[in-house]
Structure 1
Amino acid sequence: MRTTTDLLTEIRGLVAAHAHPDLRTPVDGLLLSRVETVEPDHSLTEPLLVVMAQGGKRLLLGDQVFEYRAGQCLVVTADLPVSGHFLDASAEHPALGVGLVLRSAAIAPLLLEAPPGRRPRGSVGLPALATGEADVDLLDATARLLRLLDRPADARVLGPVIEREILWRLLTGPHGDMVRQIGLADSSLSHVGRAIGWIRENYAEPMRISGLARLAGMSPSAFHRHFRAVTAMSPLQFQKRIRLQEARSLLIARAGDVAGVGHLVGYDSPTQFSREYRRLFGAPPGQDAARLREDSAPYAGRRLP
């Protein structure tokens, strides 16, 4: 068995050789990230496994802080609005990461063979984000998946096989209870996920907790507990973060129409919109948008969380 150091060296080389600004690769579900700046970024992430090969990242979800570095991994099991910045990243020493989309259709069949979950049924939902060490077996499978980028003829057949191995390592590892929630149709994550999906699609609309609770199949009080456990935010905080991140994207093209953008994302009061925007992004909407257009680095490409 190769050592962790040997595997990380190979992974770094493969990521550096194949990473592109849009993250995607020819191997289905495999994402690569190369970042040379430590500027703060805000994004809406999907369920992912991320293995950091070089550098590191500090993430903020609600009021919780997570950090992971080379040789460690990040597991995300829901669509979450996160903010953060890369650590020790530069043109000479970029942050390099590998992502694998965590799909329920791939995880569900493995649950028939995986060990039973360790958490009692009916307990409050698990957090949807965690970090930890990437052990040698996970790194070895990650390296083999990356090698398929140089062997496109093999990728269609071997890619799903290696993806299955990686998912098995996750299900039988420290984050197994988190990951199995993705594949369970009746898990608290799947119920909360329906509400998350509604907020994402209808972020500009008025939100009623009673309606979201019905969508999740829970009482309002239970829904509040499970939603906060999964996302580290209340539903209102979650909606606000989605609104402001959507506004920031719109303002890049419509910087002169701050009030109009605020209205589009659900704010009736321009003053409230500007105040909450500044609190999150550190500058008023118009000023922030002008800076983003002058310095395109934060939007030069998508990034892994």
Structure 2
Amino acid sequence: MLADNLSSLHRLVLRHCNQTRFATSLPNLTLFNCPNPTQPVRSLYDPRFCVVLQGRKRVLLGRTVHDAGASQCLIATTDLPVTAHVTEASPDKPHLALNLTLDRLRVTEVWSTMPSPPTPKVGVCGLSVGALEEALIDPITRLLDILDRPEDAIVLAPMIEREIIYRLLQGALGPIVSALVNDPGLKQIDHAIRWLRDNYHQALHIDELASLVGMSVTSLHRHFKAVTAMTPLEYRREIRMEEARRRILSGVMRVADAGIEVGYDSASQFSREYRRHFGRNPSEEIVRQQ
């Protein structure tokens, strides 16, 4: 029965997604169908529930490697700069996956109505891998079925998403998911992350950031690294580099201007940091994309 249900999910993803990445008509749902392994790509993960149905993907958070294979799922509980790539795929057996963005308010609503909500697992990495539990397969299948009935989506999709969240909270990953709403430490780190994302171009004074989120400097460093596998300064550099790269490749800004705009004092400093981060300087990046 489990194999049959998984096969149904495979067919649904293949039918609705004939490209590497497809943002569906459901705002929180993205499908993946990748026929070949891919090169590592840097991106920013928001809180999400990712299911690998076939093939394998690898996600690097800092220096920590997370591998997710068939019938496994990956949970991100905050905004994380990662490097991800498909490591196992072929035209006959493509990498198939789906991603459901976890809306924090919706998770809070479900958690608060549970008779015995799970206690959050505190002090853990913001990225976790676990087994796809059987209880999740049916609601995931019904969510994909709605893609054939768009007139039903506005009513049924939020209900099914709540059911998926409920099953997640009930299962082995429940303590991880519940940290989204009921882990004071994660809330403080999430506050720090949002401040860094909004103010990456500004000078960073760790003592001021610690005061802003209500933590000591030592506690901020310890908890921030536990969740993100990097320090606040390293996190800010990731955000700066990604934003500078986006601006440069969009063609709307010169290299030197992009560096200054994201917070670097000089073009030479920016170029050095860029090369250290991406393994090539900004000019080489532009040529590579042409």
Determine which structure has greater relative contact order: mean sequence separation of CA pairs < 8 Å that are 6+ residues apart, divided by chain length: 1
The 2-side partners of 1:276 and 1:7 are apart by: 48
1:82 aligned onto 2:82: yes
Q: Which residue identity lines up with residue 257 of structure 1 in the other structure?
A: R
The 1-side partners of 2:257 and 2:48 are apart by: 34
Give, in angstroms, the shift of residue 67 of structure 1. Answer: 0.6
Report the secondary structure of 1:167's partner residue.
Answer: helix
> Deviation string for 1:97-138 (max 9, x for gaps)?
111111121111222315354468xx6x32110111102211
Give, in angstroms, the shift of residue 8 of structure 1. Answer: 2.5
Conserved in 2, the CA contact under 8 Å of 1:114 and 1:171?
no
Q: Which residue identity lines up with residue 99 of structure 1 in the other structure?
A: N
The answer for the alignment partner of 2:42 in structure 1 is 42
Q: Which residue identity lines up with residue 153 of structure 1 in the other structure?
A: E
The answer for the alignment partner of 1:300 in structure 2 is none
The answer for the alignment partner of 2:55 in structure 1 is 55
The 1-side partners of 2:177 and 2:169 are apart by: 6
Counterpart pick for 1:127 among 125, 128, 144: 125
Report the secondary structure of 1:246's partner residue.
Answer: helix
* 1:239/1:118 CA distance change after superposition, 3 Å: same
Give, in angstroms, the shift of residue 201 of structure 1. Answer: 1.1
Counterpart pick for 1:176 among 151, 158, 174: 174
The answer for the alignment partner of 1:301 in structure 2 is none
* 1:271/1:217 CA distance change after superposition, 3 Å: same
Give, in angstroms, the shift of residue 207 of structure 1. Answer: 0.9
Let me know the Cα RMSD of the aligned residues: 2.2
Q: Which residue identity lines up with residue 238 of structure 1 in the other structure?
A: Y
The answer for the alignment partner of 2:105 in structure 1 is 105
Q: TM-score, normalised by structure 2?
A: 0.90
Conserved in 2, the CA contact under 8 Å of 1:45 and 1:81?
yes
Q: Compare 243-252 and 72-81 and name the one that shifted more.
A: 243-252
Conserved in 1, the CA contact under 8 Å of 2:120 and 2:178?
no
The 2-side partners of 1:265 and 1:36 are apart by: 36
1:234 aligned onto 2:268: no
Q: Which residue identity lines up with residue 285 of structure 1 in the other structure?
A: P
* 1:224/1:126 CA distance change after superposition, 3 Å: same
The answer for the alignment partner of 1:15 in structure 2 is 13
Conserved in 2, the CA contact under 8 Å of 1:58 and 1:87?
yes
Give, in angstroms, the shift of residue 77 of structure 1. Answer: 0.7
Q: Compare 198-207 and 28-37 and name the one that shifted more.
A: 28-37
> Deviation string for 1:59-78 (max 9, x for gaps)?
11011110101211010010
Aligned residues: 287
The answer for the alignment partner of 1:189 in structure 2 is 186
> Deviation string for 1:191-250 (max 9, x for gaps)?
111111111111111111122112211111111111111111100000001111111111
Report the secondary structure of 2:26's partner residue.
Answer: coil
The 2-side partners of 1:50 and 1:172 are apart by: 17
Deviant stretches of 4+, over 6 Å: none
The 1-side partners of 2:274 and 2:132 are apart by: 36
Q: Which residue identity lines up with residue 234 of structure 1 in the other structure?
A: T
Give, in angstroms, the shift of residue 175 of structure 1. Answer: 1.9
Q: Which residue identity lines up with residue 35 of structure 1 in the other structure?
A: C
Unaligned runs of 5+ in 1: 295-305
1:70 aligned onto 2:70: yes
Counterpart pick for 2:163 among 162, 165, 179: 165
Percent identical among aligned pairs is 41
> Deviation string for 1:247-291 (max 9, x for gaps)?
111121239832222112112233332233223322222112321
Counterpart pick for 2:134 among 133, 136, 151: 136
1:273-292 matches, within 5 Å, as 273-292=270-289
* 1:228/1:114 CA distance change after superposition, 3 Å: farther
Q: TM-score, normalised by structure 1?
A: 0.86
The answer for the alignment partner of 2:207 in structure 1 is 210
Q: Compare 233-242 and 221-230 and name the one that shifted more.
A: 221-230
